[in-house]
C-alpha cells in the first residue's frame, strides 16, 4: 500500500499491535506519529523506524486527557503535517469479577478505552475534513462481540468503541472519511503474555492455539496488514465495518 505523503497517528504505538502498525505504515511511506503514554518507549520506537530510513516522531500522550491529545495533535501538525490517518489502538485491560469491580475500575476502563478513543477522533477529524480525506481505524476487541466473563468493564468499554466507530462512519462518510474497527482475537502481545503469566488464560497460550482453526496465535503484523488495507485508497468504499482478524477463532 502506498501511503507516501500521508501523516498517520498511531496511539499506543510504542509496542505490540501499535508498533507493528506504525512500522507497517512507515514502510509504506507514511510519516508516523507514535503517541504513547510511555514517552521513553515511544522515542525508542520512533528511532528504530528512523534508522530504517522512515519518517517518525514520538509524543508522550495520555489519551484520557484531552489537553494532552490536543497538544500532541498540534505538535504532530508542526513536525510531520496534518494527520489524515488515525489508528486508535491505545487501551487497557482489566480482569475481575463483576461484583468486585469498583466504580473506580469501571470508570477507568471507560475513560481510557472509550473516552480516550473519542478524544483522539474528535481532535483529529477537523484536520481530515479540511483535507477532504481521512481514515480512522479503531482497535476494539473480539470480547466485545460476544461478552467475556471476568472482563465486564473492559468488554463494555470496547463495545462502546464499536458503536462509536460505526456512528462515525455514517456521519463522516460524506466528508471523505472512513471509519472501521478491528476486534483482535488472541494476538501475541506483551499484554497477552502478562495475562498468561497471571494465570488468566488457562494453562497456556499453546492450549488456545489448538482451538484456533489456523493453529497459531495471532501476530501484531496480522493486525497491521489489515490496518494497511483499511487506510489505503483501495478501501475507500469500506466503512462502518467490523473486520475480524482472528484466525477463524470465535471467543
Catalytic residues: 154
- What stretch of H or E contains 57? strand 56-60
* Sequence-ordered alpha helix ranges (H) in the chain: 16-27, 39-51, 66-80, 103-109, 116-131, 143-146, 152-172, 190-197, 205-209, 220-230
Cell of 198: 497471571
Q: Which is nearest to 6 in space by CA: 119, 124, 143?
A: 124
Cell of 218: 495471532
What is the C-alpha separation between 177 and 86, in angstroms, rounded? 11
In eight-state DSSP terms, residue 59 is E
Burial of 97 (0-12, 13-18, 19+ CB in 10 A): exposed
Instruction: Provide the β-strand partners of residue 56.
Output: 32
- The distance from CA 70 to its chain's CA centroid, rounded to whole angstroms, is 18
Amino acid at each position: 500500500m502506498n501511503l507516501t505523503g500521508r501523516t498517520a497517528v498511531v496511539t499506543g504505538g510504542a509496542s505490540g499491535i501499535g508498533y507493528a502498525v506504525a512500522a507497517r505504515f512507515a514502510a509504506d511511506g507514511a510519516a508516523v506519529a507514535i503517541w504513547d503514554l510511555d514517552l521513553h518507549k515511544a522515542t525508542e520506537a520512533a528511532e528504530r523506524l528512523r534508522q530504517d530510513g522512515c519518517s517518525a516522531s514520538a509524543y508522550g500522550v495520555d489519551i484520557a486527557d484531552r489537553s494532552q491529545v490536543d497538544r500532541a495533535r498540534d505538535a504532530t501538525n508542526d513536525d510531520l503535517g496534518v494527520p489524515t490517518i488515525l489508528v486508535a489502538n491505545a487501551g487497557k485491560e482489566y480482569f475481575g469479577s463483576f461484583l468486585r469491580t469498583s466504580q473506580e475500575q469501571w470508570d477507568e476502563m471507560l475513560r481510557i478505552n472509550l473516552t480516550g478513543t473519542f478524544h483522539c477522533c474528535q481532535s483529529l477529524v477537523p484536520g481530515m475534513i479540511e483535507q477532504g480525506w481521512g481514515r480512522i481505524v479503531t482497535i476494539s476487541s473480539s470480547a466485545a462481540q460476544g461478552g467475556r466473563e471476568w472482563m465486564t468493564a473492559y468488554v463494555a468499554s470496547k463495545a462502546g468503541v464499536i458503536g462509536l466507530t460505526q456512528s462515525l462512519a455514517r456521519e463522516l462518510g460524506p466528508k471523505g472519511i472512513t471509519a472501521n474497527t478491528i476486534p483482535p482475537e488472541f494476538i501475541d502481545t506483551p499484554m497477552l503474555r502478562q495475562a498468561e503469566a497471571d494465570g488468566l488464560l488457562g494453562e497456556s497460550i499453546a492450549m488456545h492455539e489448538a482451538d484456533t482453526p489456523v493453529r497459531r496465535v495471532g501476530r501484531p503484523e496480522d493486525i497491521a496488514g489489515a490496518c494497511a488495507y483499511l487506510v489505503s485508497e483501495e478501501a475507500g468504499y469500506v466503512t462502518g465495518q467490523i473486520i475480524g482478524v482472528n484466525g477463524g477463532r470465535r471467543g
